[in-house]
Structure 1
Amino acid sequence: MRAQPTGRSGRFDRRSWLGRLRDAIDAFVRQSPSRFAIAIFAGLILVFTLLFSLPIAKAGEASSAPLHDALFTAVSVICVTGLATVDMATYWSPFGNALVFIGVNIGGIGVLTLASILGLVISRRLGLRAKLMAASDTNPSRIHVGPVAERQAIRLGEVGGLLATVAISVLVIEGIIAVAMVPSMLAAGYDGLHSIWYSMYYSAMAFTNTGFSPNPGGLAPFEHDYWMLTMLMLGVFLGSLGFPVIFALARAWRQPRKWSVHVKLTLTTTTILFIAGAAMFLLLEHSNPKTYGHLDAGATIYQSFFMSMMTRSGGFSTIDMHDLYGSSQLVSSMLMFVGGGSASTAGGIKVTTLAVLFLAAFAEARGAPSMEAFGRRIPRDMLRLSVSVVLWGATIVAVSSIAILQITKAPFENVLFDVISAFATCGLSTGLTADLPPSGVYVMAATMFMGRVGTVTLAAALAASQRRQLFKRPEERPIVG
């Protein structure tokens, strides 16, 4: 006869499997938060792939979407990329579009950050493990438990405030931009319900730097609506700064002296790239009859700035990327590869990575013993981290480009543009992605996934790989350069 558990011990026995599951997850997180992050991303992609495969998610016909289209859309949504193999405005049903809206907000704020926010809401407290998980989304150096640099963008004691900033900024920024877009939607001829939905959709896509459009024709109805385009630029800019920067600005926006080096480098490099990119597009495309050649001077300048912002990971466009001159496509690829700020909704190798590389080159040219910026010394391990991220990103782009070239035999410049867009989670396309065969779709999906989580994971692994070594090998300098 089987004994029936009673009392406190009975409750413990009946719930022991939950305890074992919790302990197993906690051990997994403790052993490698970076692998935990990848597992969560992969799990979400699997769930959304299944949801997009349902007949209810597809518009029109009762048949479900093919696996390669469902998987690619799921990866593009969770990785906030914006590339698509189908027409997002007409292919998916209202249920499918709702999945897109929810997915980009989950992927945009960061899976670990979202998990910490949910834990905080449910338990009303934030434990050390949750703080470490949330801090992992804000700084790759903390994704492994272990020694980290002494100056962090967000300290563990500030994680609770950061999570509140994330939640509030997403709601407030997306809400304000959505309200501001409604007049443009009404002026374009949409009814009230469609205007509200399209405004919410565009606002989320701008802040998460995704670039999907909910209406047929995309931005064509708003090509000359500079208010609408400005709202998109504002959303992309705020999303690309990163939550640590928004957190710092929210606390001390009137006191720049209190900003960390990370905040100053992000703002400075972002501004320089924004202006330099606009100047390059203005110089290269002002005479192109297919893009800006038919516009007046003022419109050309504005569209150049719009293009400069969108190539930083925004993904929206008022022109066909295929119509750009080859020189402009190269500039676009360079801007996309850099991307936005760390711990932001943007992709790429991040602006601070580029800043550290230039600071290192400047210090080497001057013969300075260390990198310095804004009166602070930057440790040399940040240079090792930056070089590793760039090499990892370049390797992903090279391997994916070779695979796509072999599969499609398409022109190299188009392949390189779309592959970099996928890696940098930008979403701009020359039209190549929509015409890929299933094998090419899977390669691009893998590129998006590695671009979103690969560089952070590698940076985290290197940041935590401080091994104790009780001896030093003989030093010898190879010839470089």
Structure 2
Amino acid sequence: MSTYRQRRILSNPARFVVAAYLSVIGTGTILLWLPVAAEHAGSAPFLTALFTAVSATCITGLTVVDTGSYWSPFGHVVILGLVQVGGLGIVTLGTFAAVFVRGRLGMRDRMAAQRDARALSLGDVRQLLAKIVRFFLLLELVVVVLLVARFRIAYYDQWDEALWQGIFHGVAGANSSGFSLYPDSVVRFVGDIGIIGPLCLGIFVGGLGYPVLFELKNKWRRPRSWSVHTRMTLWASMAMLFGVFFIFLIFEWRNPATMGPLSVHDKIIGGLAGSVFPRTAGFNSVDIGYLTDETVLTYLFVMFIGGGSAGTAGGIKLTTFLVLGYVMLAEMRGERDVTVAHRRIPMEVQRQAITIALGGVGCVAAGTIALTLLTEQTLQHVVFEAMSAFGTVGQSAGVTNDLNGPGQVVLMILMFIGRVGTITVITSLAMNHRHRRYRLAEERPIVG
């Protein structure tokens, strides 16, 4: 990369991120608009092609048509390619965001960051990006191999069909995208650990983010040496995994429309899927439209938070949510500094967390109001759809298929902001530092 291009990217990283994703979406829309991409005669409607391209590039999984029957094999390859580019793109662009943030630190913090990230410039980041791409491709390979083996043993007599099903769902799962070639997603495999297990593995590991994965690789025997980011992400991920697992089983165990008719074994496997899928992936092993109100509320909370930073997960991210929690804890204790694991959290990080969280609340609220005006669906279903789109989760309560053109546009905007917006916001905040030579007089407004 030339010095001139490096300066252009460094001067406006947010514009670079947006332009990169818009170009991929535009290319995918044109390819899906071709007659060869649709299974039926003629081309797919432009809005259908655009919506699918946005959902695939933003690794969401919301669809307005049945993926398996509507699109041709060429269309399936295009969708899978968009998911792959979108997944790796999010991870690599998240790496750039981390570099930009660390590039604003002082000398001591730069040395600490260098030990963790091994990169502080665009020149050094190439090696880091190569490692990240190799790791995520290896993760995809593991998930694909496990799925192909299970499909071949239990469901398909021919290797070609088992291979294609394993590749498509393995790549989609590892990239936390909920696209499926089955009309019921993976409901038919609700009790099959050979299918649900690899999908959950890819979704959970990919959602941790590269900083956590690389640190665990190098320091897995020394938990006390883990960074604050790794501790927060890992422990919160485990807490959310087991917490949602038990909540899902409690409220769906006797639900006749979801888990009620299943055996105990299938309910346990279904609970695993029910705790992993709503965090960031659009697969579903039960009918979302028949979940209890308690489970839906839990899902809304989980979808909004998402997973780890610089990974395939969506939402405002676990660390953002936890930083806000520690800010509240420090305020209730009357402490001046916000501390986590004997480390002080800088004021800039606290302000970034507040900005991202309130921005997410604003986007979901605006999307919900817009969808309420454009549809006749219940408020619960509309909120679920808006949250799923913003969190790039991809699970649907059945509203997406019935949306008109303007409603589809609303979801596309939410998916784009939810996936690309977080990176652009954090890079913009990191690069936009104003240093005033004066401070205004202080005045305290009444809060609360």
Query: Do these two structures clear the TM 0.5 threshold for a shared fold by scoring above it?
Result: yes
1:168 is aligned to 2:147: no
Q: 1:354 aligns with which of 315, 321, 344?
A: 321
Q: Deviations over 1:179-235 (max 9, x none)?
A: 111232121235210101111111111111001112454314322212211111101
Q: Following the alignment from structure 1 to structure 2, what is the Cα–Cα distance between the partners of residues 32 and 334?
A: 33
Q: Deviations over 1:52-82 (max 9, x none)?
A: 1111111131x11111101101101110001
| 1:138/1:342 contact within 8 Å kept | no
Report the counterpart of residue 70 of structure 1 in structure 2. 49
Q: 2:284 aligns with which of 284, 303, 317?
A: 317
- Map 1:110-149 to 2 at 5 A: 110=89, 113=92, 135-138=95-98, 141=101, 146=104
1:154 is aligned to 2:154: no
Report the counterpart of residue 8 of structure 2 in structure 1. 28
Q: Following the alignment from structure 2 to structure 1, what is the Cα–Cα distance between the partners of residues 199 and 99?
A: 27
The offset of 1:476, in angstroms, is 1.2
The offset of 1:372, in angstroms, is 1.8
Q: 1:426 aligns with which of 374, 393, 400?
A: 393
Q: Following the alignment from structure 1 to structure 2, what is the Cα–Cα distance between the partners of residues 407 and 236?
A: 33
Q: Could you say which structure has the larger radius of gyration? A: 1
1:185 is aligned to 2:145: no
Equivalenced residues, count: 439
1:247 is aligned to 2:178: no
1:42 is aligned to 2:19: no
Q: Following the alignment from structure 1 to structure 2, what is the Cα–Cα distance between the partners of residues 363 and 298?
A: 44
- Map 1:180-329 to 2 at 5 A: 180-186=146-152, 187-189=154-156, 191-329=158-296
Q: Deviations over 1:396-424 (max 9, x none)?
A: 11111111111112111001101110001
Q: Deviations over 1:134-182 (max 9, x none)?
A: 742446736xx75587564624256344323212212211111211112
111 and 325 in structure 1: CA distance in 2 versus 1, 3 angstrom threshold? closer
1:99 is aligned to 2:78: yes
SS of match in other structure, 1:292 = coil
Report the counterpart of residue 430 of structure 2 in structure 1. 463
Q: Deviations over 1:387-446 (max 9, x none)?
A: 110111111111111111111121110011011100010010001011111111111111
Q: Normalising to structure 1: TM-score of the pair?
A: 0.86
SS of match in other structure, 1:447 = helix
The offset of 1:242, in angstroms, is 0.7
Computed over aligned residues only, the root mean square deviation of the Cα atoms, in angstroms, reads 2.2
Q: Following the alignment from structure 1 to structure 2, what is the Cα–Cα distance between the partners of residues 453 and 306?
A: 26
Q: 2:67 aligns with which of 88, 94, 102?
A: 88
Q: Following the alignment from structure 2 to structure 1, what is the Cα–Cα distance between the partners of residues 308 and 94?
A: 17
147 and 464 in structure 1: CA distance in 2 versus 1, 3 angstrom threshold? farther
| 2:91/2:311 contact within 8 Å kept | no
The offset of 1:105, in angstroms, is 1.2
224 and 190 in structure 1: CA distance in 2 versus 1, 3 angstrom threshold? farther
Q: 1:55 aligns with which of 16, 35, 40?
A: 35
The offset of 1:311, in angstroms, is 0.7
Amino acid at match of 2:16: F
Q: Following the alignment from structure 1 to structure 2, what is the Cα–Cα distance between the partners of residues 389 and 375?
A: 25
The offset of 1:286, in angstroms, is 1.9
Q: Normalising to structure 2: TM-score of the pair?
A: 0.92
Report the counterpart of residue 395 of structure 1 in structure 2. 362
SS of match in other structure, 1:345 = coil
Report the counterpart of residue 121 of structure 1 in structure 2. none
* Structure 2, unaligned runs of 5 or more: none
- Map 1:418-457 to 2 at 5 A: 418-457=385-424
The offset of 1:303, in angstroms, is 1.9
Q: Following the alignment from structure 1 to structure 2, what is the Cα–Cα distance between the partners of residues 234 and 188?
A: 21
| 2:371/2:407 contact within 8 Å kept | yes
Q: Deviations over 1:97-151 (max 9, x none)?
A: 11111111111122683xxxxxxxxxxxxxxxxxxx7742446736xx7558756
330 and 140 in structure 1: CA distance in 2 versus 1, 3 angstrom threshold? farther
Q: Deviations over 1:454-478 (max 9, x none)?
A: 1222232223332111111111111
| 1:162/1:243 contact within 8 Å kept | no
Q: Following the alignment from structure 1 to structure 2, what is the Cα–Cα distance between the partners of residues 406 and 446?
A: 16
Report the counterpart of residue 371 of structure 2 in structure 1. 404
300 and 223 in structure 1: CA distance in 2 versus 1, 3 angstrom threshold? closer
* Structure 1, unaligned runs of 5 or more: 1-18, 114-132
Q: 1:375 aligns with which of 332, 342, 345?
A: 342
The offset of 1:40, in angstroms, is 0.8
